Structure formats: C-alpha cells, structure tokens
Amino acid sequence: MTKRIALSSDHAAIDLRQAVAKHIAAKDYEVVDIGPTSPESTHYPIHGKAAADLVANGECDLGIILCGTGQGIMMAANKVDGIRCGVCSDTFSAAMIRQHNNANMLSIGARVVGEGVALEIVDAFLDADFEGGRHATRVDMIEG
C-alpha cells in the first residue's frame, strides 16, 4: 500500500522540504506537505507538532520534518505521544533509527546537510524497516 508521508518545516528549510517532497512523490509515496510556504520567520514547534499529530493519529504512516539544525523541530515532535523522531545527518543513522528504534519520524537540518545528502538520508530512512525482536523490547521501554 502507498505510504503517506507527513512533511513540514520552519522557514529555514522550505527549499529543502520542497525538494524532499518532489523526490519522494516521484517514488510513489503520498506526500502530505503541510508547509509553510511563506519564507517569513515562523516557529518550529508549531510545525513539528502539526506533522507529529498526523503521524500519531494515523493519518500518515511516517513523517519528515526539517528546520535549520533539525534539532528544535525534532524536540517538538518528540513531545507528541507515540512519536519517535531522530535527527540524521548521515544515511547509516537514518536506516538505523528505523531498523532498531522504529522511528516514525525523521528530522533533517537544512543548514547542516546539502540537498544531495539530505535526499540520500530520506531514502535510507524510507527504505529501511523495523527489525522487531530484541529491538521491540527496547522500544516498548521508551514508550513506558
């Protein structure tokens, strides 16, 4: 089944978010891009929570969020129950947060990585699957 991917960012990552949207739409993912589109300065917690809510309530399967560093928007997303989001600047970590941590959201820093690397990070995240087993025990411990 086609996976639905929630996308959001703050003002610092609009161009990269739009590049990610185009990249994954071409791979047959359904993209739910909730903006923003204006380059005006905005507040990353609003956008992190909005995308996280879509994943937590099941409207989207996974989420990809971006801000300048990826850190602030990740912190906001992780405040939503059921969200496990990691910031990645490399493809190994992006695959591992799916395989071992069952991350349902990925965060990227648009001021940290260039577009080429960012798109490879997105692919690594989306192509990987949770391995379950001993990792499920540990993820359950995070959820409490």
Q: Which is nearer to ligand RB5, 44 or 125 (CB)?
A: 44
Closest to ligand RB5 by CB, 8 vs 102, is 8
DSSP lists the bridge partners of residue 105 as: 63, 85
d(CA 128, CA 104): 11
Query: Minimum distance from CB of 69 to ligand RB5 (Å)?
Result: 4
Q: How far is the CB of 9 from ligand RB5 (least distance, A)?
A: 8
Residue number, nearest CB to ligand RB5: 72
Q: What sign does the dihedral 120-96-21-13 (CA atoms) show?
A: negative
Give the residue numbers marked as catalytic.
67, 100
Q: Which of residues 72 and 86 has its CB atom nearest to ligand RB5 in the complex?
A: 72
Residue 128, SS3 per DSSP: coil
| Residue 106 CB, nearest approach to ligand RB5 (Å) | 15
Q: Which ranges of the chain would DSSP assign to H, the alpha helix? A: 14-25, 44-56, 71-77, 91-99, 115-127, 134-143
The residues that touch ligand RB5, with contacts defined as CB under 6 A, are: 10, 12, 44, 67-69, 71-72
CA distance 70 to 65: 7
